[in-house]
Amino acid sequence: MSWRIAGRYFESCNCEAICPCRMIGGVVLGRSTYGICFGVLGWLVEDGHADGVRLDGLGAAMTIRYDDDEPGSPWTLRLHLDDRGDERQREALAAILLGRLGGPAILKLPWVRKPSEVVGARRPRRSVRLGAGGQLRVRDDLRLRVGVSFDEHLAREVARYQDGLARLPEQADERQRQLTRVANAATGAGLSLLMLGRVDEAAEWLRRAAERYRESYADAPPESWGRPIGALKARMLAADWAGAEEDARWALGEGAAGVESPIGRYAGALALLVLGRDHEARALADSIRERPDFPHGVADALATIAAADPVGYTLAVESVLDSFETRDEYLEDVPVADTVLVLQALAGGAGSASS
């Protein structure tokens, strides 16, 4: 059987880096750091197949343990398979990762080349997630996150912003796209600075983001409600409430509260909450709560903020936070739950903030 997988990989164990179970140039590095190794490995297949069975988008995780003092130091492992695939896809991915389909790289892996005992291949109740920002989650079983360097994120976003502004096209459509990318980079820089505790600098970058989002809107296609949303969120994250009110009036003036699009109504609900028009905001949020094309938790949070319902809001915002912790992507790959921060800012003003 022919097969190929490419994508993201995650590993964490109790050994010191570099893991001594690795084989380099055909030579194993040595014993595990503490004699007994235990850890978890994770994969997200972004492009893959096994004899015509597509594996794109599937995840898997493997919990492992071995003892160097046992003869042959056999591995004991459990494979956790993504419930997003069907049975054929899960079987194919398991066969690849357990070495049953061969392959020169796979055959060098320690749990394949050494004795091993598979104690189970589980399909968890929810998906295996390998997300941006170095996090792995198997719902109900395990959750791991790699340390994040927000200094590195900041440097990258500042460079993207400066490079993007230096290369602004003249043509209107290309220009509005570039301005949006620049605004995203400024938001990423602001979020990184917030995580570093540099609040005043963060506010400067977030105000820049709001300005670029609004600047991009003039030549944007119809229904580009992400631009007013981005501007409003940036203003609130910057605690620039005067600017948020101005952008809220702009969003409503563009008709956000009266459109059919749930994203447009989201923009309208944010704007109405910023302006203190809670009764109207609640009606608008209620209109998108049961929409299958909009995140239920976000709509619930907006509605409960407008209703000054602290208990309902706490449940809703915890649901939104959970969705951020299991997602595969973040804005600019900066692992921050920005929507939760915005909701908390709005709820604080309405007396509903959750700790």
pLDDT of residue 125: 47
Interval 59-73: pLDDT, tens = 888 889 999 888 888
- The residue whose two tokens read 């997602």 is 327
Interval 157-198: pLDDT, tens = 999 999 999 999 999 999 999 999 999 999 999 999 998 999
Residue 49 structure tokens: 């197949």
pLDDT of residue 328: 57
Res 232 pLDDT > 60: yes
More confident residue, 236 or 330: 236
Beta bridge partners of 215: none
Res 332 pLDDT > 80: no
Q: Distance between CA 156 and CA 199 in Å, rounded?
A: 19
Q: With contact defined as beta carbons under 8 Å apart, do 45 and 93 qualify?
A: yes
Instruction: Report all structural domains of the chain as residue ranges with CATH numbers, in order of start.
Output: 3-145 (no CATH), 150-350 (1.25.40)
Q: For residue 206, give the nearest of 234, 184, 180, 183 by alpha carbon.
A: 234
The one-letter amino acid code at 307 reads A
CA distances from 239 to 197, 231, 257 (A): 14, 12, 23
pLDDT of residue 200: 95
Res 241 pLDDT > 90: yes
Q: Distance between CA 124 and CA 189 in Å, rounded?
A: 36
Res 265 pLDDT > 70: yes
Q: Distance between CA 71 and CA 248 in Å, rounded?
A: 68
Average pLDDT, the chain: 87
Res 352 pLDDT > 50: no
Res 353 pLDDT > 80: no
pLDDT of residue 42: 86
Res 304 pLDDT > 60: yes
Query: If pLDDT is split at 50, 70 and 90, which confidence band does 243 have?
Result: very high
How much is the average pLDDT of 123-132? 56
How much is the average pLDDT of 3-23? 81
Residue 118 structure tokens: 């598979």
Share of the chain above pLDDT 90, in %: 55
Q: With contact defined as beta carbons under 8 Å apart, do 178 and 163 qualify?
A: no
pLDDT of residue 213: 97
Share of the chain above pLDDT 70, in %: 86
Res 148 pLDDT > 80: no
Res 351 pLDDT > 50: no
**One-character DSSP codes across 98-141:** TTTT--TTGGGSHHHHS-EEEEEEE--SS-EEEETTTEEEETTT
Interval 92-120: pLDDT, tens = 999 999 999 998 888 888 889 888 888 86
Query: If pLDDT is split at 50, 70 and 90, which confidence band does 128 have?
Result: low
Name the least confident of 18-32, 203-217, 301-315, 337-351. Answer: 18-32
Q: Distance between CA 256 and CA 254 in Å, rounded?
A: 6
pLDDT of residue 210: 98
